[in-house]
Amino acid sequence: MRPWLEKQLHLIDFTLASLARRKTKNVGLLLAYTLIVFVLASLSLFTHALRSEASYVLAGSPEVILQRMVAGRHDLIPPGYLDKIGRIRGVQKKEGRLWGYYYDPVVNANYTFMARPASEVADGTIMVGSALARERGLAPNNTISFRSYAGKLFGFTVAAVLSPDSELLAADLVLLSENDFRRFFEYPEGHYTDIALSVANPQEVRTVAAKLSTALPDSRPILREEVLRTYQSLFDWREGIVLTVLAGAILAFAILAWEKASGLSAEERREIGILKAIGWETSDVIRMKVWEGLIISLTAFLLGGIAAYVHVFHFGAAVFAPVLKGWSVLYPRFTLVPAVDGLQIATLFFFTVVPYTAAVLVPIWRAAITDPDAVMRA
């Protein structure tokens, strides 16, 4: 075992010296390789962290949200629905919710207005998300006016700016009292936007949803797991768009890497011929070149991976965030909790390190089995 280990160490030492002799070519290849790993790893880490964040946030959301559909469109829930739902076995808690969207022409952004009890938000006051506050320059005790869709002007005093920790969900949020919400959107008393439900037994969520559909044929139950799947699909779709845009650059690198890895320069051929002439075996030459490929690919993999980790979890993935977050105007600022999946690392390793290392084998094997004199003459 020890002689074999010493032999490998000597091979690695010779390989490093060989790489240093062709440093211009190898440094250029290493930089290009590292850049591709950085891009792919950043996308993978960022989308995985967003999925994890979405799963964490949605864990506290209602298990079932009930909407009323009229002619295929979302409509207000009329009085009486809450009583009917309360008689369905399995429903533990029900709450009518009031929310809606408002377009602000000042900053060309959509806000989410949501009603809260008077104990949380007093009439005539609002609480706003931190991204909205940044965009409109708002602070506590400032006043702001919104013109309703009916043309009426409503003035509000900012009671508080929501914590930046909640910015992923509350970037565009405006909380106001139920009375103010109904006046602003002209919602009749007793009507709600939707109903949030809690189920006594989590294993019976689908059963309760089926009962709701039967008891209220014009309703549409939306399960929490369905919302999560929608978010997952959205992130996958956006990641696919970015990868498609970058496909040209990745293909160019693949061609470059293949050409650099599979093609042997005249200097490398002479080196192999000399090594064969002084007694190196074919297996030794192949091992040396495999070590060369592993050193370049593993170094690029580690450098690109570390740079991607820092880029995503310390700088907020500034390069890809505007595309993958999806907000058009009010971009939320938040720090992602580091979330690294072993499968991600293994997949990235397989598609970056393995192909390059394998690409060096065929030309090296051909050169290594050729007569030393013929190799040096070629």
Query: Do residues 122 and 177 make contact, with C-beta atoms less than 8 angstroms apart?
Result: yes
Res 176 pLDDT > 80: yes
Q: Is the pLDDT of residue 1 over 70?
A: no
For range 184-192, the mean pLDDT: 93
- From the centroid of its chain, how far is CA 377? 53
What pLDDT sits at residue 333? 63
Is the dihedral angle over the CA atoms 205, 209, 212, 218 positive or is it negative? Answer: positive
CB 128 within 8 A of CB 174: yes
Mean per-residue pLDDT over the chain, rounded: 80
In this predicted structure, what is the pLDDT of residue 146? 94
Q: Does residue 255 carry a pLDDT above 60? A: yes
CB 63 within 8 A of CB 224: yes
For the chain, the structural domain boundaries read: 2-58+232-377, 64-224
Q: What's the mean pLDDT in 352-362?
A: 72
DSSP-derived letter for residue 281 is: -
- What is the per-residue pLDDT across 192-223, written as a single tens digit (0 to 9) for each? 999 999 888 888 889 998 998 898 899 899 89
pLDDT higher than 90, residue 128: yes
CA distance 286 to 369: 10
Does CATH number 2.40.40.20 belong to domain 64-224? yes
Least confident of 64-73, 253-262, 304-313: 253-262
pLDDT of amino acid 74:
87
Average pLDDT, integer, range 252-270: 61
Q: What pLDDT score does 124 carry? A: 94
- Residue 220, beta-bridge partner list: 67
- Look at strands 109-116 and 99-104 and give their pairing: antiparallel
Q: Match 């689908």 to its residue by tokens.
A: 206
Degrees to nearest 5, angle at CA 91 with 86 and 97: 70
User: For residue 180, is pLDDT > 80?
Assistant: yes
Structure-model confidence comparison of residues 30 and 128, the more confident one: 128
**Stated pTM of the model:** 0.66
HSE (CB half, 13 Å, CA atoms) of 142?
A: 13
H or E element, residue 12: helix 2-21
Residue pair 49/325 in contact (Cβ under 8 Å)? The answer is no
pLDDT at 373 over 70: no
143 band by pLDDT with thresholds 50, 70 and 90: very high
CA distance 287 to 292: 9
**Least-confidence region, from 33-47, 87-101, 269-283, 360-374:** 360-374
* More confident: 378 or 252: 252
Structure-token pair, residue 221: 């139950």
Task: Give the mean pLDDT of 22-36.
Answer: 80
Q: Which amino acid is at 245?
A: V
pLDDT score recorded for residue 155: 95
Which of 40-44, 84-88, 97-101, 248-252 is predicted with the least confidence, judged by mean pLDDT? 248-252
For residue range 334-347, what is the model confidence (pLDDT) as tens digits? 667 777 778 878 88
Flag whether pLDDT at 279 surpasses 70. no
C-alpha 299/C-alpha 319 separation (Å) is 23
